[in-house]
Amino acid sequence: MPAMVPWRATEDGFVTKENLDWYRRFAEGQPGVLVVEATGVRDIPSGPLLRIGHDRFLPGLRRLVETVSAASEGETKLFIQIIDFLSVKRRPEREKYFARFLEVNQRHRQRLAEVTADSGWLNAVEAKVREFLNEAPDDFIDRVLDARELESLRFGYREHVTDLELPHVRELPQVLPSIFAEAAGRARNAGFDGVELHYAHAYTMAGFLSALNNRDDGYGGSRENRVRLPLEVYRAVRKAVGDDYVVGVRFLGDEVIAGGNDIDDANYFGVEFARAGFDFLSISKGGKFEDAQQPKVGQAVYPYTGQSGYECMPTVLSDETGPFGRSVPLVAAIKRAVNEAGFKTPVVATGGISTFEQAEAILRAGQADIVGLARQALADPDWFIKVKLGRGDEVRRCTYTNYCEALDQAHRPVTCKLWDRFELDEPGIATVDDGRRRLLAPKWKA
């Protein structure tokens, strides 16, 4: 079962009873491997997402390990996905952006002078520039602000791995290996069976891998340079946890954005990751900021709203391919490249896999070595044990409406529409939204 963020941690990143209940419910279904949600490696605020950036998080994480082991009767291996992310701000009000956030400089005055054919702007005071721009129409703003300023105005400020003018971004290659290594060491200390390094979607490590990464410090540009930091992070992690501990990676088979990585890049990265010694390669697709829809004022941009986001979490409202297994051809290509390079590193297929027949066909065709189910597991946490017992006709099938994804986008506790409003009178169940949604799937009456 791949990682899913349930929005159940404390605002400080600590494990809660709700986290324990969430993972206990999945463990009762006895998946072969359960991957804990993307967990922050830094000791910085990140809202109700789990964190592993300090030893103070260890007691809660140990309880999580013990909970899953007991609930699965020792049948489920527990990995934790560890992640780094850069700053993303909410979309500002227009007046606030021009009054406070825009850094007015001579370039703006020069552009105003050119666009208005009025050289008086070259010596205009800052307050006048801000006031004028705030009142200007959008097509005028497009001609004065640069691309990053327009992004900050219309989508909210977002740090990029290419922002070398920011000291903390420039220094990422020097600091991230040890940060990830310390986090992985804590994971082993807490009792997890392995770690999955999150190199996918819209986050820091995926930014380094991206073809859009044009850093000029040896960590951008060519594929060889773009994979450099991800490999350095892996080596630091491996040194910290030892050779007898599982270290896997989640990365993209296709970024699905203009100028981004495609399958050729993914094949190269897959071979290099296998060569380095990763224990498994888990493949995803898309989920990028670059093509995300514009958020409402006061909300942050969400990387699963554009075409790349659709390919990451496709819905039943689809094309002729439908939402089922859209990433499998990418997985098969990466597996083929890895195997042809002489490596046997297991490759994991995920995304729109919902039935035993579909999963078995992928394995029998040699398209992947392992299959994972996220939304289907959310729809029915007992999928794994039901299939194992030959009772697949009792599986609650995911309908891929992405009701769950909408809750994730709103940073609300994630549930499934197929069960969250059923049996609400069951004694002792936890609910949200004034009792209108239950937080856990009903127990399977085997």
At 44-73, the pLDDT tens digits run: 988 899 999 999 999 999 999 999 999 999
Q: How confident is the model at residue 320 (pLDDT cuts 50, 70, 90)?
A: confident
Q: 93-107, 271-285, 308-322: which range is least confident on average?
A: 308-322
| Phi, psi (degrees; rounded to nearest 5) at 339 | -65, -40
The confidence score (pLDDT) of residue 446 equals 81
At 219-241, the pLDDT tens digits run: 999 999 999 999 999 999 999 99
N-term to C-term CA, the chain: 21
Report the share of the chain in percent with pLDDT over 70. Answer: 100
At 258-269, the pLDDT tens digits run: 999 999 999 999
The confidence score (pLDDT) of residue 46 equals 85
What average pLDDT is seen over the chain?
A: 97
3-state secondary structure the chain: CCCCCCCCCCCCCCCCHHHHHHHHHHHCCCCCEEEEEEEECCCCCCCCCCECCCHHHHHHHHHHHHHHHHHCCCCCEEEEEEECCCCECECCCHHHHHHHHCCCCHHHHHHHHHHHCCHHHHHCCHHHHHHHHHHCCHHHHHHHCCHHHHHHHHCCCECCCCCCCCHHHHCHHHHHHHHHHHHHHHHHHHCCCEEEEECCCCCHHHHHHCCCCCCCCCCCCCHHHHCHHHHHHHHHHHHHHCCCCEEEEEEECCCCCCCCCCHHHHHHHHHHHHHHCCCEEEEECCCCCCCCCCCCCCCECCCCCCHHHHHHCCCCCCCCCCCCCCCHHHHHHHHHHHHHCCCCCCEEECCCCCCHHHHHHHHHCCCCCEECCCHHHHHCCCHHHHHHCCCHHHCCCCCCCCHHHHHHHCCCCCCCCCCCCCCCCCCCCCEECCCCEECCCCCCCC
- Average pLDDT estimate for 351-379: 97
The confidence score (pLDDT) of residue 416 equals 98
Q: How far, in Å, CA of 108 to CA of 96, rounded?
A: 18
Q: Residue 321 above 90 pLDDT?
A: no
The confidence score (pLDDT) of residue 45 equals 85
The CATH number of the structural domain formed by 17-89+164-438 is 3.20.20.70
Note the maximum CA span of the chain.
80
Entry pTM: 0.96
At 139-159, the pLDDT tens digits run: 999 999 999 999 999 999 999
Q: How confident is the model at residue 108 (pLDDT cuts 50, 70, 90)?
A: very high
Write down the domain spans for the chain.
Answer: 17-89+164-438, 94-154
At 285-297, the pLDDT tens digits run: 999 999 999 999 9
Cα–Cα nearest to 346, from 431, 444, 249: 249
Q: How far, in Å, CA of 128 to CA of 182, rounded?
A: 50
At 240-250, the pLDDT tens digits run: 999 999 999 99
Given the structure tokens 């040699």, which residue do they identify?
A: 366
- Average pLDDT estimate for 378-407: 96
Q: Residue 388 above 90 pLDDT?
A: yes
Q: How confident is the model at residue 427 (pLDDT cuts 50, 70, 90)?
A: very high
Q: Is 143 exposed, middle or buried (0-12, 13-18, 19+ CB in 10 A)?
A: exposed
Report the share of the chain in percent with pLDDT over 90. Answer: 97
Q: Residue 361 above 90 pLDDT?
A: yes
The confidence score (pLDDT) of residue 47 equals 86
Q: Residue 212 above 90 pLDDT?
A: yes
